[in-house]
Structures are given as structure tokens and as C-alpha cells.
Amino acid sequence: MKKPVYMDYAATTPVDPVVAEEMCKYLTLDGVFGNPASRTHAYGWQAEAAVEGARRQVAGLIHADPREIVWTSGATESDNLAIKGAVAGRDNPHIVTSVVEHKAVLDTCKWLEQQGVSVTWLKPGSDGRIAPDQVASALRDNTVLVSLMMVNNELGCQTDVAAIGTLLRERGVLFHVDAAQAAGKTEVDVSTAPVDLLSLSGHKVYGPKGIGALYVRRSPDVRIEAQIHGGGHERGMRSGTLPTHQIVGMGKAFELASELLEQDKALLEDLRHRFLQGLESLDGVALNGSDRHRVPGIINLSFDGVDAESLMLGLRELAVSSGSACASATIEPSFVLKGIGLDDEQAHRALRFSFGRFSTPEEVDFAAAQIVDVVTRLRSVR
């Protein structure tokens, strides 16, 4: 069977071949396999040098100081470390987040709520965005942290991180941003954006799965408490032997993302335009989320009179999803779509198409033609 066309880049990306080739040099006896924490011999020193090189590459993409990068196992762990680590030890803390965050943030905040932390859950407008004045009015004297994502993984819409960060800085409240879907897709610059903690993932940026990072600002100095103890790696913030091959892979992937940012963006703007044009002959198609403040590669569409389950069954030659990969296992409608005000039925009609670096115009044309066919057929048998 021919493989379906991959249109689920928001769930994960393939590892760039350049990255995969680099990673292989850090595994075997003839490669750099040493423990980066081994201080007594060259095996360790070489591995440490590789890890520090990758730290500079990751820091480079977001304009951070390499000393502000803490390696983790992925954005899920980064989110947990940032939020739990910022709240730990605080007296009667209050945090602010939104109902359209990734599960890694939602479930962490829900868990903290059960532990007695007060949480304000902001609801975005129908465009999927949280307005700065919503954040301002949610703040209390005991607010310690606001956690909002930079780019929504289901809708592709972008948060006004600069404006929200500026008002939080004035109020002395920490700002955590999940940038897993933003890195490599749009400019992420912590040298200008007032962000204190920022989560990154390797596998959303053509790097390997199982590796991520948390940016922790040094000036003004941000203190978080470790959530994993033992050995005191990463300046005590995250213990555990560093996975050199994963780290080198994420570093190379982030270096490529810096070099290719404009090129990748231009390709995806083109493909988005082409895809939506290919669907123009269909009416009753609605774009979910902002069309102005968004990244080009994530497109969430609802089709009148067609439920997403049947549409996906018809679209066997396309690999797409009805929401986030983590939520796809359930048939519950997406909490993100419900969060922007869609009712159950409307949410059940939505599909997410996400493109990436290796998507082609031919694939996008094929996908649009298939969608037009299947939607037309499903509507006619109604």
C-alpha cells in the first residue's frame, strides 16, 4: 500500500536527514559515546563539548545565553518543571493559564489546583487568542506565574507574548511560555520578549523525540525548584545523565531551523495559500482560529454537514488529525475547539491539516482535491 501523505507535522516532524546523520556519531565505540559528566578522561570531555555546542545552537535560535538552557526529555517535562518549579515553596500561590493550552500545561495546572494552588483559567476569543487585558484583570496580589502558549498546536494562532510579557514584568509576575509549536515556525526572541521561562521540544523542529529544553532567564534571575533529583546535573535544575546523541540532534535541528526560518516560512505560506485555493470550490468551509495572527503550517477547518470521523475515514490517503495527537485517542471533541466557543457538533466537524519542510505543492494539491471529492460525496448522501 502507498503511504498516506503526511499532513500531521504539528503532531511530530520527521528527523531531518542531516540531523540523523549527526546523531549517529554519538552512539558507538568509534564515536563520542562517553558520559558528558565524566570529568576524568577524554571520552567525557568530548561528549561534554558536544553537549555545550548543542546548547549554543538551541540558545542561538531563541537569542538566549547558552547558560539559560536546561536540557529536559521534551516540552512536556519543560512545562512541568517551569510551572511546578516556579510555584514550589511559594506561600498561597495563584497562577493564570488558559483553557486552550497543551495538556502538559493543563494537566500540570489541574494537579496543582488539587494541591491547593488557585488557578484562573482564561477563555480565548473566537480567534483562539488571549487578550493582554484579560491577563491583566486576572492578576492578584499573590499571582506568581502566568503560563500561555506562543502558538496553539491545534489552531496555529499566535499569542501576543510581547504585550503580555511587558505587563507581567511591570507587575513582577513570572511568565512561562510553551513555545514548542513556535520554534522554527516564527521568530522567538527572548532578548526582546519579556519571557522568564520558555519550553522547547526537539521533535517539532525536525529533531528527535525524547529531548527538549527549558529556557530559564538569568537576568533578572529566575529561580525554579528542581522536580527530578539526583546528581545535580544542569546546575541542579534537572538531574540525569545527558543523552548526548539526542542533545546533538536537537542542537543541529535548531541550528538548521535558524538557517532555514525564512525559507521554511515562505514555503509554508505558499502551501497554505495553495491548499486553501484548492478548497475554494467547496462552500461551507470555516477556518478555526485567527487568520491574521497565526503560523502558516497549521490549518484547522470545519466542514458544514460533515463530521470529522467520516471525513477522516474517506481521506485514507492523507495522514491528518482531528486535534492534538494526545487527544486523538479519545472521541471527545477537542477541548481547544470548545474553548474557542464551538459547540460539540461544530467541534466534531473540524480537522487539522499541518504541513512542514518536506511537504510539496503536489501533496497539497492532491490533499485539496481529495477533500473536495470526499466532502462532496458525504454531503450528497446525507
Ligand X SMILES: *Cc1c(COP(=O)(O)O)cnc(C)c1O
Q: State in angstroms the smallest separation of the CB of 201 from ligand X.
A: 3
Residue whose C-alpha is closest to residue 294's, from 193, 186, 137, 148: 186
Q: State in angstroms the smallest separation of the CB of 352 from ligand X.
A: 12
Amino acid at 70: V
Binding residues with ligand X: total (CB under 6 A): 14
**Contact (CB, 8 A) for 66 and 54:** no
Q: State in angstroms the smallest separation of the CB of 115 from ligand X.
A: 22
Nearest to ligand X of 128, 212 (CB atom):
212
- Binds ligand X (CB under 6 A): choice among 34, 36, 74, 184: 74
Binding span for ligand X by CB under 6 A among 74-82, 188-196, 238-246, 283-291: 74-82
Return the residue nearest ligand X (CB atom): 74
What does each C-alpha distance from 296 to 4, 52, 199, 274, 276 come to in angstroms? Answer: 22, 32, 21, 11, 11
| Cα pseudo-dihedral 171, 177, 183, 187, rounded to 10 | -20
**212 is a site residue for ligand X (CB under 6 A):** yes
- Binds ligand X (CB under 6 A): choice among 50, 149, 350, 375: 149
Binding mask 247-266 for ligand X (x = CB under 6 A): --------------------
3 state SS for 174-208: EEEEECCCCCCCCCCCCCCCCCCEEEEECCCCCCC
**238 is a site residue for ligand X (CB under 6 A):** no
What values do phi and psi take at 132, rounded to 5? -55, -40
DSSP per-residue codes, 289-318: S-SSSB-TTEEEEEETT--HHHHHHHTTTE
Q: State in angstroms the smallest separation of the CB of 178 from ligand X.
A: 5
- Crossing angle for the helix pair 244-278 and 361-380, to the nearest 10 degrees: 60
Q: State in angstroms the smallest separation of the CB of 204 from ligand X.
A: 6
**Rounded-to-integer distance, Cα 340 and Cα 123, Å:** 7
**Rounded-to-integer distance, Cα 357 and Cα 72, Å:** 25
326 is catalytic: yes
Nearest to ligand X of 204, 348 (CB atom):
204
What grid cell was written down for 80? 512541568
Interface with ligand X in residues 76-115 (CB under 6 A): 76, 102, 104
Nearest to ligand X of 87, 155 (CB atom):
155
Q: State in angstroms the smallest separation of the CB of 336 from ligand X.
A: 11
| Bridge partners, 318 (sequence order) | 5
Binding span for ligand X by CB under 6 A among 68-76, 89-97, 127-135, 162-170: 68-76
Nearest to ligand X of 261, 285 (CB atom):
261
What values do phi and psi take at 149, rounded to 5? -85, 150
Binding mask 157-196 for ligand X (x = CB under 6 A): ---------------------x-xx---------------
- Binds ligand X (CB under 6 A): choice among 13, 153, 288, 321: 153
**Rounded-to-integer distance, Cα 113 and Cα 101, Å:** 16
**Footprint on this chain of ligand X (rule: CB under 6 A):** 74-76, 102, 104, 149, 153, 178, 180-181, 201, 203-204, 212
Which residues are catalytic, by number? 326
